[in-house]
Structure 1
Amino acid sequence: MTTHADKPRLDPTALRHLTGNGDAPRLLDVRTPGEFRTAHIPGSYNVPLDTLREHRAELLHHLDEDVVLICRSGARAAQAEEALAEAGLPNLRVLDGGVTAWEAAGGALTRGPDRWDLERQIRLVAGLLVLVTGVAGLFLPGLHLIGTAVGAGLTIAALTNTCAMGMLLAKLPYNRGPRTDVDAVVAALRGTS
């Protein structure tokens, strides 16, 4: 079995070349709607990772050309790649470094209202949990173990390339925005085929 690390990645310069010469692949941004509204690559479609996993069979019929999967840094896009590859879609690539690398390479972004991205929210919540339980543990013995559990969770997240805290934070109204309508995504994909 191949892992996403075995599959070719697309660097931002190569994607800029493809989008600039009119031979652009489908760009699927798998971040939360809140993150997508903050900044996204022009011409990309927002299909949050959970929605993509749940409706991959429906989406598969409208993704017959090359597809580039995008997230903030590449981790969620790699998970989306695995889900779509399992469903039988062969023409998949992940934008290496995600939107962060795209912007650093001078790629254009469509911007909306500024919000904190999911990874920054995870760092805030994890840091606050460790800080508060560490200080409170001075007065309430054993409470510091919550910080230890957070550290263990972050270690597991790094080793498995998944994040339970991120999945929970993605479900908050701040990150969800309006629910992604799969029919609207399919109609948009069909309209530009």
Structure 2
Amino acid sequence: MENTQTMLKMYLQHLIQPGDQVIDATAGRGKDTLFLAECVGPEGRVFAFDIQEEAIQSTRELLAAHKMLDRVALFQESHTEIGRLVPQGIRAAVFNLGYLPGSSQTIITGPETTLRAVNDTLKLLVAKGAIMLTVYRGHSRSLEEANTLNAYAAELSKKDFHVLQGMYLNQGETSPYWLTIQKNRGDHS
């Protein structure tokens, strides 16, 4: 969530309360992980995932520089491991899809792994909890990933979930867009 994602950050700041548990499903360079650590406060917990050692190291260094490392559990694992490694009771989750900024575009998120991670995360959310996905459409499988996510989100029960999509109309067809999935009520495994 760079500066262009100001609205998403404002929503998350309103949603996340001190002491909450949240997920950064794609830690990247650590900016979202740091933001989430600030939101949950000293009693909260962030579960941050990335498959790349470079990403985990960047995130660790950023958190240490801001004295927030103790609020975060870092996992050099795929976000497909969320269902195995994260407890119930998640207030919010953030996904930034695509590739590690400033790195090779050969390691990317894909529709199969992202869909599994989103599905597992939905099961961990508390009522009124939400997943925020920023979908970047500039990598080799981005269109397939976007179409898969949109189809999945469109099929979610409207009784159980609210799904919103936002996009920049003035930034071209391949600009990033976001999906927000909010859980309306209790457990729906």
Which has the larger Rg? 1
Q: Which has the higher contact order (CA 8 A, sep 6+)?
A: 1
Name whichever structure is richer in helix by fraction.
1
Q: With the length of structure 2 as denominator, give the TM-score of the two structures.
A: 0.34
